[in-house]
């Protein structure tokens, strides 16, 4: 029987090649945005990446683009307070959303970030998909449920990307996947496939590149 929310299979060679070509192009940092009036023109397709602090978001973006220092990881959870835009070639924005689930950030700061995220997600017509990163060691947490609910409310299709899949034995990973699938079943905006990745080992990176390249 087909599982709900199966793991994405590796695409065929032509689709893999589309993804490789897309991410072989230049990747450039455009700007960090702290308010809606600072957004760059919505003149190309864009995808965004969301995840709680220390989920491995910077590592994943760096692995996708092949640029080790592109998205900077921070040892301080919640330090990144901006929506960071990168161009991937001439036709795509990669958007790095602020990490969430941080205890250290003041309540007022968190509220400001949430308002900005809500405005961005609900008002960006060129946003084709959000990728919600879930740590394979921990599964879906309450803070992940919050961002998924926000994406539901904003009518933005989101796809779960499991990070650090090399850090757990297969049996433990299967158990985590069961928990993630049960959580996703409650979210109408969830795309019905999960991508398993390891930025460190390069696992799933070609598949994720191909998925992004196939969006229109």
Q: Which H helix or E strand runs over 115?
A: helix 107-123
Alpha-carbon gap, residue 119 to 170, rounded angstroms? 39
Alpha-carbon gap, residue 151 to 145, rounded angstroms? 10
pLDDT at site 105: 67
pLDDT at site 2: 56
Domains in the chain: ranges and CATH: 13-213 (3.40.50.300)
pLDDT at site 76: 47
Q: Which of 30, 49, 50 lies closest to 40, judged by CA?
A: 30
Alpha-carbon gap, residue 155 to 149, rounded angstroms? 10
pLDDT at site 78: 47
pLDDT at site 171: 86
Q: How do beta strands 92-96 and 83-88 pair?
A: antiparallel
Number of H helices and E strands in the chain, helices first, is 6, 7
pLDDT at site 207: 98
List per-block mean pLDDT (blocks of 10 residues) for the chain, which spans 216 residues: 82 95 94 92 96 91 88 52 91 91 70 86 94 96 92 96 91 93 97 96 97 94
């Amino acid at each position: 029987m087909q599982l709900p929310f199966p793991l994405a299979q590796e695409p065929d060679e032509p689709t893999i090649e589309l993804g490789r070509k897309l991410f072989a192009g230049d990747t450039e940092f455009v700007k960090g945005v702290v308010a809606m009036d600072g957004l760059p023109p919505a003149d190309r397709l864009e995808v965004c990446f969301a995840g709680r602090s220390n989920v491995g978001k910077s590592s994943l973006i760096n692995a996708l683009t092949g640029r080790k220092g592109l998205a900077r990881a921070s040892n301080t959870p919640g330090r990144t307070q901006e929506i960071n835009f990168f161009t991937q070639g001439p036709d795509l924005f990669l958007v790095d959303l602020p990490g969430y689930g941080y205890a250290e950030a003041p309540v007022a700061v968190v509220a400001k970030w949430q308002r900005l995220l809500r405005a961005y997600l609900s008002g960006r017509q060129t946003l084709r998909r959000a990728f919600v990163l879930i740590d394979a060691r921990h599964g879906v947490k309450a803070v992940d449920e919050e961002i998924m609910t926000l994406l539901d409310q904003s009518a933005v299709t989101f796809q779960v990307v499991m990070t650090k899949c090399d850090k757990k034995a297969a049996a433990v990973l299967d158990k985590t996947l069961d928990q993630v699938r049960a959580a996703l079943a409650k979210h109408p905006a969830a795309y019905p496939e999960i991508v398993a990745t390891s930025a460190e080992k390069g696992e799933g990176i070609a598949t994720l590149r191909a998925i992004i390249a196939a969006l229109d």
